[in-house]
Amino acid sequence: MSHNPIIPGFNPDPCICRKGDDFYLAVSTFEWMKGIPVYHSRDLKHCELCTHVLTDDETVDLKKLPSAKGIWAPCLTWCEADDLFYVVYGVMNSMNARYFDVDNFLVTAKDIRGPWSEPVYLHSAGFDASLFHDDDGRKYVVSLDWETRENYEKPGAICLAEYDPVKKEIIGYPQRMWWGGTDRGCIEAPHLTKYGKYYYIMCAEGGTGYNHCVTMGRSTRVGGPYVKDPKNPIVTSVPGYSYERDDPDHLKPKYFNPDSVLQKSGHGSYVDLPNGETYLVHLCARPFVPELRCTLGRETAIQKMKWTDDGWLRMADGSNLAKAEVEEPGLPDAPVPAPISFDDFDAPVLQPVYYAPRILPQRFVDLTSRPGWARLRGQESRASLNKVSLLARKLTSVYARVTTKMEFSPDVHQHSAGLILYYDNMDYSYLRKYRSDSLDQEALAVIHMENGTRTVWLDECVPVEENCPIYLRVYVEGRKFWFEWSYDGENYQKIGGVFDTTKLSDEYCKYGEFTVSMVGITCADLMFHKKTADFDFFEYVADETKGVELAAAWSDSWNDRL
The pLDDT assigned to 545 comes to 85
The pLDDT assigned to 457 comes to 78
- Kind of pairing between the strands at 532-542 and 374-377: antiparallel
- For residue range 175-234, list pLDDT tens digits in order: 999 999 999 999 999 999 999 999 999 999 999 999 999 999 999 999 999 999 999 999
* pLDDT at 538 exceeding the cut of 70: yes
The pLDDT assigned to 546 comes to 80
Whether residue 74 has a cis bond before it, omega within 30° of 0: no
* pLDDT at 271 exceeding the cut of 70: yes
Contacting residues for 380 by C-beta, under 8 A, at least 6 apart: 386, 387, 388, 524, 526, 529
Confidence of residue 547 (pLDDT cuts 50, 70, 90): low
Contacting residues for 432 by C-beta, under 8 A, at least 6 apart: 416, 417, 418, 444, 445, 446, 447
- Residue 42 · residue 50 · CB < 8 Å: no
Distance CA 343, CA 98 (A): 42
Closest Cα partner for 192 from 126, 141, 234?
Answer: 141
Mean pLDDT of 383-394: 98
Cβ burial of 120 (10 Å; 0-12, 13-18, 19+) is middle
The pLDDT assigned to 550 comes to 43
DSSP letter string, 421-462: EEEETTEEEEEEEEEETTTTEEEEEEEEEETTEEEE-GGG-E
Distance CA 365, CA 443 (A): 24
In angstroms, the Cα distances linking 206 to 220, 254, 267, 526 are: 26, 12, 10, 44
* pLDDT at 557 exceeding the cut of 70: no
Percent of the chain residues topping a pLDDT of 90: 91
Confidence of residue 556 (pLDDT cuts 50, 70, 90): very low
Cβ burial of 186 (10 Å; 0-12, 13-18, 19+) is buried
Confidence of residue 154 (pLDDT cuts 50, 70, 90): confident
- Residue 458 · residue 434 · CB < 8 Å: no
Higher per-residue pLDDT: 553 or 36: 36
Specify the range with the lowest mean pLDDT, choosing from 66-80, 146-160, 351-365, 438-452: 146-160
Percent of the chain residues topping a pLDDT of 70: 97
Mean pLDDT of 77-88: 98
400 φ, ψ to 5°? -150, 155
* pLDDT at 551 exceeding the cut of 50: no
Q: Where in the sequence numbering do the catalytic residues fall?
A: 13, 188
* pLDDT at 553 exceeding the cut of 50: no
Mean pLDDT of 310-337: 97
Distance CA 543, CA 125 (A): 42
Contacting residues for 443 by C-beta, under 8 A, at least 6 apart: 433, 434, 435, 436, 461, 462, 463, 464
Confidence of residue 555 (pLDDT cuts 50, 70, 90): very low
The pLDDT assigned to 561 comes to 36
Average pLDDT, the chain: 95
Q: What is the pTM of this model?
A: 0.96
Collapsed DSSP state (helix, strand, coil) of residue 392: strand
* pLDDT at 559 exceeding the cut of 50: no
Determine the residue type at 111. D
- Residue 245 · residue 181 · CB < 8 Å: no
- For residue range 297-319, list pLDDT tens digits in order: 999 999 999 999 999 999 999 99
The pLDDT assigned to 248 comes to 84
Mean pLDDT of 469-483: 98
- For residue range 9-64, list pLDDT tens digits in order: 999 999 999 999 999 999 999 999 999 999 999 999 999 999 999 999 999 999 99
- For residue range 396-441, list pLDDT tens digits in order: 999 999 999 999 999 999 999 999 999 999 999 999 999 999 999 9
Distance CA 72, CA 65 (A): 13
Distance CA 233, CA 165 (A): 34
